[in-house]
Amino acid sequence: MRKIFLPLVRNVIKTLKPGEMVLLSGPLLTARDAAHKRLADSLKSGRKIPILLKGETIYYTGPAPKRIGEVIGSCGPTTSSRMDPFTPLLLKHGLIGMIGKGERSKEVILAIKKYKAVYFITIGGAGAYLSERVKSAKVIAYKDLGPEAIYRLTVQDFPAIVEAL
């Protein structure tokens, strides 16, 4: 498996192939439905958002509470199609990578191509395993959303498969 370092750059994205298995290492964000809705609503109304999207990768997960000694609780992927209503707008504002599970809408696939982004899938049902790949975790926005808050994670050798580019 090829190692890919985050943040992603378009020159690396151009070299990826659908179906390719990769190991991701570096910083990324987490966000689920509620955070996506807030981000999109703010962008649509011209309000400032609490994160910079340019060059970011978002992992669709809502981590479980961590136990003593853990960096993060179980953090398996959320069904990506739940973010589809918001994804084209976030891509337009600089989002470059997404990690989740399942298919995306035709509109999202077209937006991924238009903005030269990438969608990775990862292992559903393996949240405990995936949490071992997280080396640091910090809530950086929308703390009131609990597990759906936006986290900044640093991952090492996080397994993913290129699904769409």
The catalytic residue positions are 36
**46 contacts: CB under 8 Å, gap ≥ 6:** none
Cα distance between residue 74 and residue 69, in whole Å:
13
Cα distance between residue 128 and residue 108, in whole Å:
29
**18 contacts: CB under 8 Å, gap ≥ 6:** 162, 163, 164, 165
